[in-house]
Amino acid sequence: MQEEKAPSIGNASADDVKLEKVGADRFAFSAENPMQHGGNTAGFAGAFGTGAWSVLGTVEGTGNLVDKDKNDLFAFSFTGAGSTSGTWTITNTSKATDAVLDLTVAIHASNASTAFLFENQTVAGGQTLNGTWQIEWQNTGGNVPGFSNLVFFGRESAGNVALLPVPEPATLPMVLAGLAVVGTAAWRRRGKRTGGVVA
C-alpha cells in the first residue's frame, strides 16, 4: 500500500501575500485549518511570538466575508475565491484615529495553510490599504490547490488582545504639556518634603 504524500511548502514565500506591494514580514506553513473552532492559531502562533490573537474577519470558500471585529475598528474586502490568487483590503473605519496592529492573513487550501504576518502595521484613520494574495504551496498530489478559506487575525503590537488606537499628532503636544505639569508638581512636592530648595 502506497503512503499518501504530505502537502509541501512548494514555492511559498513571505511575498505571496502583500500589502501596498510589500510582502509579509514572516510566514508559517502548516497542516492546520485557521477556520477551525472559530479561529485556529495553532499553525502560526508559535512562529509569530507571544500574545493573544483576535479573529477580525473570515472568508468562506464561496468568498463570503464575515466581519468578526468586536471593536468595529477594521473592515476588510476579499476577491479570488475558488482560484489561486486575488486581492484584499484592510480599512481603518475610524476617520479620526490611527491604529497599529500585528496582522496575520491565514489562507487555507486543500489540506494545508500558510499564515502571513504583517508586524506593527499602521493603518491611518480612514485609510484603506490594498493587498494581493496567491497560493504557491502544493497539496498531496503535488499541485497548487485552489482557495478554501481565509481568516484575518489581529493583536495589539505589544501583545494585548485589544487593538488600541495611536494618538493623533495634534494631541501629542497636549499630552507632553500635561506630563510636564505633573512632573513639575511632583518635583516641587518632593523638594518641600525633603527640605530642599525649590525655586
Position 6 in a domain: no
28 with 100, same domain: the answer is yes
108 with 179, same domain: the answer is no
* Per-residue pLDDT at 152: 98
Domain boundaries, position 38: 14-166
Average pLDDT, consecutive stretches of 10 residues, N- to C-terminus, the chain (199 residues): 72 97 97 94 94 94 94 94 96 90 96 96 95 95 94 77 48 54 56 48
Structural domain count of the chain: 2
* Per-residue pLDDT at 161: 36
103 with 171, same domain: the answer is no
Distance CA 55, CA 177 (A): 38
127 with 193, same domain: the answer is no
181 with 151, same domain: the answer is no
The pTM of this model reads 0.78
42 with 133, same domain: the answer is yes
186 with 121, same domain: the answer is no
112 with 197, same domain: the answer is no
C-alpha dist (Å) from residue 63 to 68, 69, 134: 15, 18, 15
Distance CA 18, CA 25 (A): 10
* Per-residue pLDDT at 50: 85
37 with 69, same domain: the answer is yes
Which three three-digit cell numbers place residue 128?
A: 484603506
Distance CA 43, CA 59 (A): 18
Position 8 in a domain: no
